[in-house]
Each structure stands twice: as structure tokens, then as C-alpha cells.
Amino acid sequence: MQQRGRGRIAYPYIIWMAIFIVVPLILILFYSFTEGDIHNLKDLKFSVSSYKKVLEPIYLKVIGNSFVLAGISTLICLIIGYPVAMIIANTDVKHRNLLLMLFLVPIWMNFLLRTYAWMSLLSPNGLINRLLLWLGLPKIEIMPGKTAVLLGMVYNFLPFMVLPIYTVLSKIDKHVIEAANDLGGNSVITFIRVILPLSVPGIVSGITMVFLPAVSTFVISGLLGGGKTPLIGDLIEQQFLSSRDWHFGSSLSIILMIMILISMAVMSRIDKSPPEEERRKI
Amino acid sequence: MQKAVKRIYMSIVFLFLYAPIIVLIVFSFNKSKSRGQWGGFTFDWYFDLFKDRQIREALYFTLLIAVISTLVSTIVGTIAALGISNMSKIGRTVVLNINNLPVLNPDIVTGVALMTLFISTRIELGFVTMLIAHIVFSIPYVILAVLPKIRQMNKHTAEAALDLGATPAYAMRKVIIPEIMPGIISGALIAFTLSIDDFVISFFTAGTSVTNLSILVYSMARRGVKPTINALSTLMFTTVLILMLIINKKTDKGEDIII
Amino acid sequence: MSKNLIELKNLTKRYNDMTAVDSINLTIKENEFVTLLGPSGCGKTTTLRMIGGFEDPDEGEIFFEGKLLNDVPAYKRNINTVFQRYALFTHMNVYENVAFGLRVKKVSNDEIDRRVKRMLKMVDLAGFEKRNVDSLSGGQQQRVAIARALVNEPKVLLLDEPLGALDLKLRKEMQIELLDMQRSVGITFIYVTHDQEEALTMSDTVVVMNKGVIQQIGTPEDIYNEPINRFVADFIGESNIIEGVMLEDYKVSFDGLVLDCVDKGFALNEPVDIVIRPEDIRIVVNPDEGMIKGTVTSVVFKGVHYEMIIESDKREYLVQRTVMFPEGSVVGMNVQPADIQVMKRGDVPCSKEEEEG
């Protein structure tokens, strides 16, 4: 009796959600399918021209770039991150927390600042090149450029990969591994046949948690790519802040959303454990 | 052998993670303004920090917005979570799916969508819009933090309080809220850190009249960051580090590290 | 026993299309220990929750000391509940849990202290005041839940599967303790369980429910010895239920046998269900001395007795005896007329489900 009634206390938030979550997205959808002066509602008319614009080669390339770079950085994060997660998970409890904390602490420094610090490290006259020079080695010139953007993505999103994998690995019952060994599996077989399959949920949420922010970033590419390798995020930012082409920006946003929804649907096919909480937290 | 390999591997990873941070900290004590040059040790930038109006203002807005949005989103989110947990299954699914949108959507989409809403409704971008935006993206996390606690709670706990003579309001105050307090606290912590850390959504909703630290750093990064910012981030970083150490020592539980 | 305390009249509760409780009538007396017994989903918990005030009945009335209780909210009813899995307040210690109801009623601190201490002593938890409820064992949590309810001196205590989360040994101990408590505080207990043994051990009155309908109300002995239909017979204890025909008064027939019984009042040749409890079947070594001849096909030692399955040419019988007959031996079986219980054939399904979700 009292129960159903208490659902009503959620109503104010439902209204809030409608105004600040649903309406803005509908507006974006609306602008993506119209053209004309955005400040004059009467002037707007239905059009798919901004979607057609997305299909122009120059923009398709940007979108392609975003997905390729985000994909590569996700893969690198997985390759680097999985062993890290495994090493942390296998450390004894006392040191494990210390390791985990050491791993998470950098997140607490503003990520723009950390990215900025990479600029000073990587720039042509930056610290790394000075070091190389001092050692008599050739300079590296990756910034501004794709490599630097990749590095920035891996740097910023690596913890998103490690954490979920670590969480899953640390929950695997040690007896399962012992049982596998007991049944004659050597450590490689045990890993491939037992540990890896059991950690799939962690891998899946790790991939989602890295790929999502990587594909939509505009800060990393702006700072480390020096505008040479614009990503879909940069494009959206430009449309809303400098070129003021909301229609095009909206179409790009819708396309980004759809592509992300599709990749998430694919991922959740592979496993059903939403990364929800962890993602933004870190 | 294997152990040594592990050690070396972890050392390299940690070097990678900490290199930029060490650079920032070292340069906050650098007399030279250039970011490549070491010009001797100094505390000047720390003193400048308190004189620099721009940074002081950005810090002020960052903290003010973080505090207000944390308070509002924690209260609203907790009430909403309590309501949602009592809704019918269909209603709950719909509400939770919409609630998850800001969590799953790229920040940039949330940012431009909110900006579009404000500009279309002729609301001037500024402090209020940025605050609203922060509340918008924080509440979903609070709900996601509180709901599991409500679910964990024995479903008869509220009834037990009524059974013992408590009015519904008294039961809420003295039993339900205290029972889900851990969820509320972690929700608040998440909301606070998200707000402090946010750049993308603030960037699109702040307009030109207000600036928070992230926006300030972003605009400076292209022109060259003032060393005072290095000093500020070193201070913030050490504060957080110390807090983390204290929390870790206190909980001592192991598994539940608050990120 | 004394006067009526609670009366349920045509009480009905529906969830969407499903009728959880279907027009039940029940009278509960003062100081009575009443058990609502039935499989999961039979409506026993819903009935209890309506008495407690946590569900509104769709039809019918609940009377408490002659007064209509329907519109009185839970927190104003002089009834307390021990919930499934206790529902203790985990953010409070043992003392505060027990004190909760008294604090709500603004009882003075001295009085609270006195009553809480006395109650904790009664449930054998003196010295546990400051303990966190999470740190207690299942049995101790159970006692806190009981103390928390009883400290308010309710007229009625509702218990919803209170022992369900305990292991067998503890459950047996708590059964006895609960009974002692009920006797010493002298209040009415309404107890919900799906465990027939628990119901038979503890209750003054057992109410067997199925599908929202009361099947039978009676003393444990009545329910066990004189089940009113196939459902009750099957649900209460283990039994051999056999379809047969009542030839005339005191004569029942099945599998081509005609046996004497003590039942009467059926129509001639009325189809009936016959219940024979496993412990009521005697075995004789010489198969020809038995009414029914059969082969032992399985023997399991159960501690107190051996449980054997004996197959006649028509059916299997479950038999419990303290003497074992080896598998494969051919034996005879006898049943006393008084041990044959004849029931009207109903269309009640006889599935025996486990545990409440």
C-alpha cells in the first residue's frame, strides 16, 4: 500500500530528466534534420543536407580517423593493461592496495594538466628530446601528430582498462586456478582456457570504458595533435563554438551517438555487465 | 626471474604514469618561466598563486560549483533513487534507461545538447547554466550509487520500522536514510570529483563570463601555462594524495578503495 | 481457551489477475499459537501482512478485539512482527535495535533501559548490547528480532518464516525457545511457515493453505491424522496416497483389495483418496500373512528408522520401520483399519513446493 505511493517522490526528478536529458537530445535530433537560421524557428525547414555533408570524403575521413585512433588506443590499453591488472591481482593483499592506489593516484591530477605536461615532455625541444640529445640519440618528433594523440589517449584512459579487468581477476576463485593446474593444465593452458575466459566481462567493460571517451575526445587531439589530425570531437566542437553550424554539429553528434550505441550493443552481446558506475568515476 | 620481469614491467608502467606528474611538480619549483629550462629552485609561484586573480576566481568557481552541485545532486538523487526503487518494473526500467543517458553518452554530446537547450531557450550561458549542467550529469551517478544500497537493504526494513510504531517520516529519517548512508556518501564523493574534474561539459555551458580551473588550463595550454597553475595543481594533488592515504589507513578493509 | 482476539472475514487480496488470498475466514483466540502452513505462493504470507498492515485487503474485514482494523496504519497497530531474514537495522547496535519501538513511543530513558535489558536477558543476549547486529550469528540475530518486537508488549506477534534462514539444529532449538517464550509472555503468536514439521511441533492450531484458500484448520493431531483432502495429506508428512472407491460405510477398496476402515458417510461406490502413513504399514516376513504382497526395492537408513520402498504388483509403497528388510526380499504388508484415512476426492493439485521466494 504505502509502497506504490512512494514511487511518486521520484516524479520531480523525472520532470528534471525530461527537461535536461530528453529535451536537449530531441533538440539535437531536431537540428540535425533541419536547415536555416537556428535563431529563427520559422525559418527552419526539414532537410537532410547536414547528413549529406557528413558523407563528404573530408568528413568521412575525420570520422574514420576517430574510430581508428580510438580502436588502436583501446587495443594498446588492453595489451598494456591486462598484464598490469593481472600482476596487481596476483599481488598479496597488503601490497595490492598500495599498487592499486599508486595506479589510481595520477587520475587525481586534472587531466588537462597531465595532457599539458605531455606537451612539455614531447615537444621538439621538450624534456625527452633533451634527454635523447644528451645521450647522443636521434630526436623524436611525434608532437604534434597522430602518435602523440595515441600516446595521450593511452595515457589518459589506461586506468579505465586496468580497473575493470583487475576487479574481475581479483574475484576469480583461486581454487579454480588450482583446479585447472591440478587437472594437468600448465600455466599457459590455464591462462588461455580458464583465466582469460573468466575475465571476459572485465575486458568487455574495459574496452567500452576506453573506447567511449577516446572516440569522442577533442581535448587530446587539440592539444597533442595540434589540429593536424582532427577527430569527430574537434569537428563537433568547431560546429558549435566557431563555425556555428548547429545542423552539421547535431548530425555529427547523432552519428557519434548511434555508432557508440551500436558498439555498446555489440559489446553487451559479448557480456552483460554494464560498466555504468566505474566509467566516469575515475 | 619471473618476478624480476614483473617488477621491471610495473616500473615502466608507473614511470609512464608518473612522468608528466613529476614534470609538473618539478616545474612548479622552477625559477625559469620556460617549460623546458631549469632556472633554479623557487617558491615564487606558490606565493603568486594567492595574488593571481584569474586563478583565484577559477578556483572559487570550481569549488563553489562542486559544492552546490554535490549537495543538490546528492539530495535529489537520493530521493529519486528511493522513488525509483518503489516504482513498477516498467516505469523503473524506463526511468533508469533515461537516467543512464548522460553516463553513457560522450561528454561532448551531453555538453552540446545542454548548450543547445540553453541557447534555444534564450538562457544566457554563465554560472547558472554551468551549475545546472553539473547537476544534470551528477545525479545519475548518485542514483547509481544509492540504488544498490536500497536493493541490498532487507526489503522489510522499512516495514519493520512502521511495525514498531514509527510514522513513515520517522522511519525515513531514522532508519532508511541511515541504512543507505554509505551509498549516499559514495554518490556524493563521485559527484564532487566529477564536478571538480569536468572540463568538456563546463566548456560548452559556461559561456564567457565564468571560468573554472579546467577551462582556464585549456585556454592556457595553447598559449603556455603559467607556472602558477603548476603550483596550484601540485597543491591539489598533494592534498588529494594525503586524503587518500588517510582514508586508506582508516578503512583498512582493502577491497573498498574510494577512487 | 479464552476470547476471540482476531477475526478475518472474507479476506481477499488480489495482485493484478492473481488472487493471492481468496475470501478466507479465520478466528484467532487470545494466547493461541496459530500457524499458517502451506507451500510457496499459497497466500500465508499475504494473510500475515494484511494483519500486520503492510498490505491492504481488497475485500473483507480484519477485526482486532472486535474493532475494525482495516484502516488503521501499520504503525498504529498493537501488533508486532518478526520479519523474514529479520530486517534488523544494520546501522544500529543490538541495544538500539531493541529500543527502537520504545524510543518511537517516547518512553523515558530509564524505562527503556530497564525493558531492553530485561528483554535481552530473556532472549539470552545479555552483554551483547553494544554489538553490531551484522557481527551476530543467524540465531542471535533472530533473537534480536524477537526481542525488538516483544519489548513493545504487543497483543499479537506475527512471525514470517522466522527460522527459515537457520540451519536444522539451530532451528530445532529455536522452535523450543519460541514456544517457551510464547508461554511465558502469554501472547498470541501467528506463525507462517512452509515447514510442516515446524507447524506440527509448535502450534495449538494449524491452518493449512493452498492457492489462497484455507484447506483445513485444526490441531496438529487432527491435521496429521485426519487430513481432509489429498493436498493436506500430501503436504503434511510423507504418505501413500491411493485412489480407491468407498464401497459402503467402513469398507474401502483399491487395487482389487477390500479393506476395513473407520470412515463412513460417503456415497456408495464413491471414488475417494486413501491415505496411509508410511509408519502405519507393518511388515511381516511371510508374504502370505500380509494383506498386500510386495518386494523391497530400496532401503535407506534414516537414523530413527529405515525407509523402504516396497513394490506390489500394482504400486509402490513408502514404508518406515525400525527393522530392516533387505532389498529383494518378498514381504507382506498390513494396515490397521484405524490407520486408513479416507478423503473426499478433490481436484486439488498435490505438488509439494519448496520455500518462499
Q: Do B165 and C101 touch (CB under 8 A)?
A: yes
Are A149 and A72 in contact by the 8 Å Cβ rule? The answer is no
- Predicted pLDDT of residue B254: 41
Distance from CA of C54 to the nearest CA of A (A): 7
Q: Hey, is C303 helix, strand or coil?
A: coil
Residues C289-298 have a mean pLDDT of 92
Pick A185 or B126 by higher pLDDT: B126
Residues B205-213 have a mean pLDDT of 89
- Predicted pLDDT of residue A196: 85
Pick C114 or A145 by higher pLDDT: C114
- Predicted pLDDT of residue B1: 61
Q: How many helices (H) and strands (E) does chain B have?
A: 12, 0
- Predicted pLDDT of residue C245: 92
C22 pLDDT band, cuts 50/70/90, is very high
pLDDT (tens digit per residue) in C196-244: 889 999 999 999 999 999 999 999 999 998 898 889 988 888 888 899 9
- Predicted pLDDT of residue A170: 86
d(CA B60, CA B164): 48
Length of chain B as a residue count: 259
The minimal CB distance from B159 to the residues C74, C91, C92 is found for C74
pLDDT at C349 exceeding the cut of 70: no
CATH at residue A138:
1.10.3720.10
Tell me which chain C residues have a C-beta less than 8 angstroms from the C-beta of B86.
none
Are B212 and B65 in contact by the 8 Å Cβ rule? The answer is yes
- Predicted pLDDT of residue C347: 52
The minimal CB distance from B178 to the residues C91, C104, C149 is found for C91
In degrees rounded to 5, what are phi and psi of residue C325? -115, 125
User: Could you tell me if C220 and C252 lie in one domain?
Assistant: no
Is residue C354 situated within a structural domain?
Answer: no
Residue C55 at interface with chain A, using a CB cutoff of 8 Å: yes
| B64 C-beta neighbours (distance < 10 Å), count | 14
The minimal CB distance from B156 to the residues C75, C80, C87 is found for C87
Is residue C356 situated within a structural domain?
Answer: no
**Is B114 buried (19+), middle (13-18) or exposed (0-12) by CB count in 10 A?**
buried
Q: Which residue of B has its CA nearest to C49?
A: B159
Are C33 and C182 in contact by the 8 Å Cβ rule? The answer is yes
Q: How many domains does chain C have?
A: 2
Considering C225, C259, C290, which residue would you say is the last residue of a domain?
A: C225
User: Could you tell me if C218 and C279 lie in one domain?
Assistant: no
Residue B177 at interface with chain A, using a CB cutoff of 8 Å: no
- Predicted pLDDT of residue C8: 95
Q: Do B236 and A109 touch (CB under 8 A)?
A: yes
- Predicted pLDDT of residue B251: 56
Pick C165 or C235 by higher pLDDT: C235
B223 pLDDT band, cuts 50/70/90, is confident
d(CA A34, CA A31): 5
Q: Which residues contact A282 (CB under 8 A, 6 or more apart)?
A: A104, A107, A159, A160, A163, B259
Half-sphere exposure of C346 (CA within 13 A, CB side): 15
Half-sphere exposure of B202 (CA within 13 A, CB side): 27
Q: Do B21 and A117 touch (CB under 8 A)?
A: yes
Tell me which chain C residues have a C-beta less than 8 angstroms from the C-beta of A1.
54-56
User: Could you tell me if C203 and C289 lie in one domain?
Assistant: no
Q: Which residue of C has its CA nearest to A4?
A: C55
Is residue A243 situated within a structural domain?
Answer: yes
Is residue C17 situated within a structural domain?
Answer: yes
The minimal CB distance from A112 to the residues B6, B77, B217 is found for B217
pLDDT at C350 exceeding the cut of 60: no
- Predicted pLDDT of residue C297: 92
Tell me which chain C residues have a C-beta less than 8 angstroms from the C-beta of B155.
87
User: Could you tell me if C262 and C134 lie in one domain?
Assistant: no
Q: Which residue of C has its CA nearest to A1?
A: C55
CATH at residue C251:
2.40.50.140
Is residue A9 situated within a structural domain?
Answer: no
Half-sphere exposure of A151 (CA within 13 A, CB side): 24
For chain C, what is the mean pLDDT?
89
User: Could you tell me if C173 and C278 lie in one domain?
Assistant: no
pLDDT at B235 exceeding the cut of 90: no
* Domains (range + CATH), chain B: 53-225 (1.10.3720.10)
Q: Which residues contact C307 (CB under 8 A, 6 or more apart)?
A: C278, C299, C300, C301, C318, C319, C320
Q: Do B159 and C87 touch (CB under 8 A)?
A: yes
Half-sphere exposure of A161 (CA within 13 A, CB side): 23
- Predicted pLDDT of residue B257: 39
CA angle (C16, B88, A274) in 5-degree steps: 135
Is residue C350 situated within a structural domain?
Answer: no
Residue C353 at interface with chain A, using a CB cutoff of 8 Å: no
Residues B124-137 have a mean pLDDT of 95
Is residue A106 situated within a structural domain?
Answer: yes
Q: Which residues contact B188 (CB under 8 A, 6 or more apart)?
A: B70, B74, B142
Q: Do A240 and B257 touch (CB under 8 A)?
A: no
User: Could you tell me if C179 and C316 lie in one domain?
Assistant: no
User: Could you tell me if C201 and C250 lie in one domain?
Assistant: no
Q: Do B214 and A112 touch (CB under 8 A)?
A: yes
In degrees rounded to 5, what are phi and psi of residue C209? -120, 150
Q: Hey, is A35 helix, strand or coil?
A: strand
Which three cell numbers mark A255?
Answer: 552519428
- Asked if this assembly's ipTM is beyond 0.90, the reply is no
Pick B127 or C239 by higher pLDDT: B127
- Predicted pLDDT of residue C346: 63
User: Could you tell me if C219 and C267 lie in one domain?
Assistant: no
Q: What percent of chain B has pLDDT over 70?
A: 93
Residues C82-95 have a mean pLDDT of 91
Is residue A191 situated within a structural domain?
Answer: yes
Q: Tell me the residues of chain A between 245 and 264 that have a Cβ less than 8 Å away from chain B.
A: 246, 249-250, 253, 256-257, 260, 264
- Predicted pLDDT of residue B242: 83
**Which pLDDT tens digits describe chain A residue by residue (282 residues)?**
344 456 788 999 999 999 999 999 999 999 999 988 877 777 788 888 889 988 999 999 999 999 999 999 999 999 999 999 989 988 887 788 888 888 888 887 778 888 888 888 888 777 788 888 888 888 777 777 889 999 999 999 999 999 999 989 888 877 777 777 777 667 777 778 778 888 888 999 899 889 999 998 888 888 888 777 889 999 999 899 888 889 999 999 999 999 888 888 888 777 654 444 444 443
User: Could you tell me if C168 and C201 lie in one domain?
Assistant: yes
Buried b vs exposed e over C251-278: b needs ≥16 C-beta within 10 Å?
Answer: ebbbeeeebebebeebeeebebbbbbbb
Characterise C199 by phi-psi region: left (phi > 0), alpha (psi -120 to 50), beta (else).
alpha
Is residue A134 situated within a structural domain?
Answer: yes
CATH at residue C114:
3.40.50.300
User: Could you tell me if C100 and C24 lie in one domain?
Assistant: yes
Tell me which chain C residues have a C-beta less than 8 angstroms from the C-beta of B163.
52-54, 74-75, 79-81, 83, 149
* DSSP track, C203-245: -SEEEEEETTEEEEEE-HHHHHHS-SSHHHHHHSS--EEEEEE
Is residue A11 situated within a structural domain?
Answer: no
d(CA C246, CA C244): 7
Residues C130-149 have a mean pLDDT of 92
Considering C225, C260, C288, which residue would you say is the last residue of a domain?
A: C225
Residues B86-95 have a mean pLDDT of 91
Distance from CA of A279 to the nearest CA of B (A): 8
B128 pLDDT band, cuts 50/70/90, is very high
User: Could you tell me if C194 and C146 lie in one domain?
Assistant: yes
Characterise C211 by phi-psi region: left (phi > 0), alpha (psi -120 to 50), beta (else).
left
Tell me which chain B residues have a C-beta less than 8 angstroms from the C-beta of A219.
199-200, 218
User: Could you tell me if C70 and C139 lie in one domain?
Assistant: yes
d(CA A177, CA B176): 41
Is residue A45 situated within a structural domain?
Answer: no
Which residue range is the domain that position C251 belongs to?
Answer: 238-344
Question: Looking at chain C, which subunits does it touch, using at least 3 CB pairs closer than 8 Å as the criterion?
Answer: A, B
pLDDT at B256 exceeding the cut of 80: no
Question: In chain B, which residues touch C (CB < 8 A)?
Answer: 154-157, 159-168, 170-171, 174-175, 178-179, 181
Q: How many domains does chain A have?
A: 1
Considering C195, C225, C255, which residue would you say is the last residue of a domain?
A: C225
- Predicted pLDDT of residue A136: 82
Is residue A42 situated within a structural domain?
Answer: no
Tell me which chain C residues have a C-beta less than 8 angstroms from the C-beta of B156.
83-85, 87
Length of chain C as a residue count: 357
Pick C5 or A197 by higher pLDDT: C5
Which residue range is the domain that position A143 belongs to?
Answer: 50-281
- Predicted pLDDT of residue C128: 94
